[in-house]
Structure 1
Amino acid sequence: MLTKKDLQQIKEHGLSLQSIYNQLEIFSLGIPAVDIVTAASVGNGIEVIPESSHQKLVDLYETSKDKLDIVKFVPASGAATRMFDFLHKFLEEYDPETETLNKYLKRVPSFALETFMDHMKEFAFINDVRRKIREHYPDYKKSNKGQRMYWLVKMMLEPEGLNFSDLPKGLIPFHKYAKYYTTAFEEQLYEAAFYAATRDDAYLHFTFSEKHVPYFKEEFETVRNRVSKKTKTEFHISYSFQKPETDTIAVTLDNVPLRDADSNVVFRPSGHGALLSNLNEVDSDIIFIKNIDNVVAEEYVENISYYKKLLAGKLLWLQKKVFGYLNILEQEEVEESTIKDIRSFLWNELSIKDIPMDQDKLFMVLNRPIRVCGVVKNTGAPGGGPFWVKDQDETISLQIVEKSQIDMENPHMQTIVNDATHFNPVDIVCGVRDFRGKKFDLMLFSDPRSGIITKKTVGGVTVKALELPGLWNGGMAKWNTAFVEVPLDTFNPVKSVNDLLNREHRPNA
């Protein structure tokens, strides 16, 4: 199926022929659904740290952090398009020349649109939108309500206006303060100063889309003095892109490589699992991972910061135990009572149930990257969660699993998912150095069998696309993991623009 031209294209893309054959085989054979045994719950894979222990763990982190290398890792390449789905629909379906707004809302009821209209003045970006309207539509105020609303949405979303449809979510104005507004990008900087700064320096690594880098650089230069002055912190920004060599081949529904109009093979980005390669290049004692849109207004940051320090303290406590045991296991003879202690630790603290007796194998089980994942009580939000999973070797382990990995047509699996008590807000603290201080190669601790085959539309044609194992599910499948319950108010993502009306996104609300 592949020509000499294809082989040259594959090589130029940084891919190997073997990797392409492997991908084609996966398309042909399919990826088995994840075999979830049961949902993790409090006392069964999820720990609720008693309040009496909170301060001890927070203090452990506070007293240790100035001697550590700390980085906050923020996936930030996502476009803002989905934030405005209902507004895109409005532009497509409403014609102010032929229909009043009231008639449209009766014909196409939209609670989201009505909420947006009722609260327009409260959004951080409204003044910028109005300025664009004055530039393009001088008769705006003389027009009827439907026409005004139509123009306002156009000026928000389209290129002649603010072009929010094509901006990354991190650069959309989120929070409206008395004299300025802030983007999610700026709030990530501000928040980092409270828990990820050492000796008044904060290091953040963002994964951007390459085309958006100039905009983020401009934003950083605009806000760095303001946020540094407020926090007395110097910010150091690094960034990376999703690498072309992590792209995967697209195929037709018959598993034949898809070609464009010039007969070139079509490659597609392979989902957030591709960012494992980016994370693998960050060499640090502690890495905080948090999505770009999960931020709060300044007055709520202290609460967020407290639980970040709690999770980091838990990580340091686990590392101290693990590193101590690894130093012991390096010795030729280890007392049986110590082996018992190690096995008890693995069972109780890292939820590892298939524990070897052999000293060398115990060493291998302990000598892995460690992550402490905050999980929140389930409120019906979409997304992944903590589950006990049986792999192809019949080993049962604790994993984060996305819904797309589960056979939801299987009634038993559906029941397990519906009964799940917690979900994953992507609130992760990572330890990626071993007990000798050497960074792990994170690629060795991924499960390559846990990718996802999805269906996409390319040029009006439905095709298959392959996503690599997700960054925090299959990408970290072989990490040692602890799940810790954190309060729901630490999770404040902005999936829809109307989420910005929630209390945590409204300064002095």
Structure 2
Amino acid sequence: MFSDKDKQQIQQRGSNLQTVLSQIENFKTGFPFLQIEDAAAVGNGIIRLNTEDLEKRGALYDKKVASGTRPLKFVPASGAASRMFKALFEALEELETNDESEVLKNKAVKEYSDQIDKFAFADELKEAIKNGGDTNTLNSQLDYLLNDKGLNYGSLPKGLLKFHSYKSDARTPFEEHLVEGARYAKNGKNKAKLHFTVSPEHQPVFEKLLAEVQARYEAELNVEFEVSFSQQKPSTDTIAVDLNNEPFRNPDGSLLFRPGGHGALIENLNDLNADIIFIKNIDNVVPDRLKQVTIDYKKGLAGVLLKHQEKLFYYQKELNEKHPVALASGFLAEAANFLENTLNTKPAENQYYTEKEELYHYLKEKYNRPLRVCGMVKNEGEPGGGPFWATNSDGTVSLQVVESSQIDPNSVQQQKIAQHATHFNPVDLVCAVKNYRGEKYDLTQYTDPATGFISTKSKDGKELKAQELPGLWNGAMSNWNTLFVEVPIETFNPVKTVNDLLREQHL
């Protein structure tokens, strides 16, 4: 199947032949659906914080940071903005053959055109059009917005677009994350560490923007920023195959590899060193006037994590440093109860661990894992994965973030459970990636490889099959200890289309 030249190409990417062969086997066999047992809900896997709880957890987080806990904010920011402008790209193409009045019959295009002055990029766009276009025509408005003769927004990542207007300037999501991070991701010495994953072609633009704004924001916010960037590793790309599951080849005969999806970022996350890591998507930001609820809940989630981590570390230490015979009477039963009822991992069905040593080894394995707290929002019709109790590959049942594509569409029973979901995943995570000794876990060892995803794409007019790795907050964190906490809908304000910027939350 593979020539020496192919093997050399694989090696040069930092991958290995066995990994690529496993990926091809996945194409042949497909990935199994995840078996969900129940929808998580408040009182059944989801914690609800009242005002007092939120304040206590936030105060605990502030206290820990003041005494040396080191936080970091991790933002996946490589996503292109092109999908935000799908309707506008189509409109620009239609204007080649249709009158403007016809194109404006599209509701999304008309909404954009009618309210163009409300966008944070409006003034910059007008200036760009003056260089050669007509500010009054839809064609110029779209051409200069999307293409490189103007703002080139159709080719930039979301993080570099102007999202929000302020009295003296306009901010990009990248800048909003800096401002937000200064409020909850700074250490006891007023240093805020943020890490952005970006695409290779856009990293210089991010770095240029950072150089332009860093000093100003540091002065305004009384903070010192430490900002770093990384790119998805070529070794995490997955091989593409044709419809017969044979390696898809480029015109020059080389193998085609494609990015492995956001699950590949577990490698980037694994390279970072911090005690607490906040994870949030690049487009989920709001103006300053609405930030406080996000700040409060970010600290609250971190406080929940730290509160439970104290007990988790106690059990870790006992299990790692004592022989089962030396453990206090009742300790194992107590640790098993905390694992099942607080850390939300239940043993496999019919597995009772009657032997003391068996239970000891089971608990030791399950306690020696990273810990995450995931914010969950009440489901109001937004797309996205949801919180469920699911059966894992080792037979245990635990809380998992499950995408709809992971649930068997042909199973009436599974779909019935899915329909009972009360919350969805807004990608609002706080992670602890070290053990009680302060040693960092190798996060790549806590994934579930069987939770990947296969899709159909095309290249050079030919159909192909592509494979995504287990998602960052799905299968890539499948084998973590997990807590779910309800967060208010006000903390979730993503921008999926350009017209989302016309929502009240972004104006």
Q: TM-score normalized by structure 2?
A: 0.94
1:426 correspondence with 2:427: yes
Encode CA deviations 1:443-485: one digit per residue, 9 max, x unaligned: 1111111111111121222210111111110000000000000
Report the Cα offset of residue 83 of structure 1. 0.9
SS at match of 2:244: coil
Q: Match for residue 504 of structure 2?
A: 503
Q: Match for residue 288 of structure 2?
A: 298
Q: Match for residue 179 of structure 1?
A: 168
Residues 43-442 of structure 1 aligned to structure 2 (within 5 Å): 43-66=43-66, 67-95=68-96, 99-105=98-104, 109-137=105-133, 140=134, 148-198=137-187, 199-329=189-319, 330-332=321-323, 333-354=326-347, 358-442=359-443
Report the Cα offset of residue 37 of structure 1. 2.0
Tell me how far apart the structure 1 counterparts of residues 363 and 251 of structure 2 sit (CA, whole Å).
55
Tell me how far apart the structure 2 counterparts of residues 405 and 167 of structure 1 sit (CA, whole Å).
31
Report the Cα offset of residue 392 of structure 1. 4.2
Tell me how far apart the structure 2 counterparts of residues 394 and 440 of structure 1 sit (CA, whole Å).
23
Which amino acid in 2 is paired with 1:72? K
Tell me how far apart the structure 2 counterparts of residues 4 and 284 of structure 1 sit (CA, whole Å).
42
Encode CA deviations 1:39-97: one digit per residue, 9 max, x unaligned: 211111111123332221111101111311211011000000011111011112233xx
**Structure 1 unaligned spans of 5+:** none
SS at match of 1:165: coil
Report the Cα offset of residue 393 of structure 1. 4.1
SS at match of 2:416: helix
Distance 1:13 1:421, change over 3 A: same
Name whichever of 243-252 and 387-396 sits farther off: 387-396
Tell me how far apart the structure 2 counterparts of residues 194 and 104 of structure 1 sit (CA, whole Å).
44
Q: Is the 8 A contact 1:455 1:462 kept in 2?
A: yes
Q: Match for residue 19 of structure 1?
A: 19
Report the Cα offset of residue 13 of structure 1. 1.4
Which amino acid in 1 is paired with 2:5? K
Residues 2-41 of structure 1 aligned to structure 2 (within 5 Å): 2-41=2-41
Report the Cα offset of residue 31 of structure 1. 0.9
Tell me how far apart the structure 2 counterparts of residues 132 and 242 of structure 1 sit (CA, whole Å).
33
Which amino acid in 2 is paired with 1:87? L
Report the Cα offset of residue 208 of structure 1. 0.6
Tell me how far apart the structure 2 counterparts of residues 159 and 410 of structure 1 sit (CA, whole Å).
48
Q: Is the 8 A contact 2:199 2:231 kept in 1?
A: yes
Tell me how far apart the structure 2 counterparts of residues 317 and 395 of structure 1 sit (CA, whole Å).
24
Q: Is the 8 A contact 2:263 2:468 kept in 1?
A: yes
Q: Is the 8 A contact 2:345 2:396 kept in 1?
A: no
Distance 1:350 1:64, change over 3 A: same
Q: Match for residue 446 of structure 1?
A: 447
**Structure 2 unaligned spans of 5+:** none
Report the Cα offset of residue 222 of structure 1. 1.3
SS at match of 1:164: coil
Q: TM-score normalized by structure 1?
A: 0.94
Report the Cα offset of residue 100 of structure 1. 3.5
Q: Aligned pairs, how many?
A: 494
Tell me how far apart the structure 2 counterparts of residues 173 and 317 of structure 1 sit (CA, whole Å).
38
Seq. identity, %: 46
Q: Is the 8 A contact 2:103 2:109 kept in 1?
A: no
Tell me how far apart the structure 2 counterparts of residues 424 and 450 of structure 1 sit (CA, whole Å).
17
Tell me how far apart the structure 2 counterparts of residues 84 and 230 of structure 1 sit (CA, whole Å).
33
Q: Is the 8 A contact 1:194 1:302 kept in 2?
A: no
Q: Is the 8 A contact 1:184 1:295 kept in 2?
A: yes
SS at match of 2:254: coil
